[in-house]
Amino acid sequence: MIKIVYILLFILSNTSANTIERKYDIICGAVPRTKGSCGEECEYEYNHNERILKITGKKMDDYKSPLEVPWYLQIENIENITLNGIEHIGENSFNGAKSLTEIIIPSSVNSIGRNAFTNSNIKNLNIFILSSSYPYHIATVHM
């Protein structure tokens, strides 16, 4: 039965294998993944108790759909995101993060993909350059 569901999802969907796997996980009630890879030399870890997603590395992957994001099954519960060393925030990475209240974009970030924060509850995105002596505010994006 499980293989039939997986095959039907693949046939009916015009999406990548990662998206099929996420849909399969949702239908079958899979246990959400709490850590793994999310791009070039890039790892994530989600803490259920604190509702914090920590991402460390260089370049996050771009995702064609929010269903492809590795933390999709936790997306509505994420309240805080910590980025360490990230240079690129991927497309659709936090699309649907309805509980998201805080994210600090570090100075290492030089690009943000489309729809990265679509359907999140962030109203203003403050971007700072953090130095050893003081934070320097460079932009506010009203969403």
The letter for the amino acid at 13 is S
- The sign of the dihedral angle between the CA atoms of 65, 67, 70, 74 is positive
Does residue 81 sit in helix, strand or coil? strand
- Please state the pTM of the whole predicted model: 0.71
- 56 has which bridge partners? 43, 84
pLDDT in tens, the chain (143 residues): 454 444 444 445 555 555 545 555 555 555 567 899 999 899 999 999 999 999 999 999 999 999 999 999 999 999 999 999 999 999 999 999 999 877 878 878 888 999 999 888 876 666 666 555 655 555 555 55
Q: Provide CB contacts within 8 A for 97, sequence distance 6+.
A: 75, 76, 78, 81, 117, 119, 120, 121, 122
Does residue 113 sit in helix, strand or coil? coil
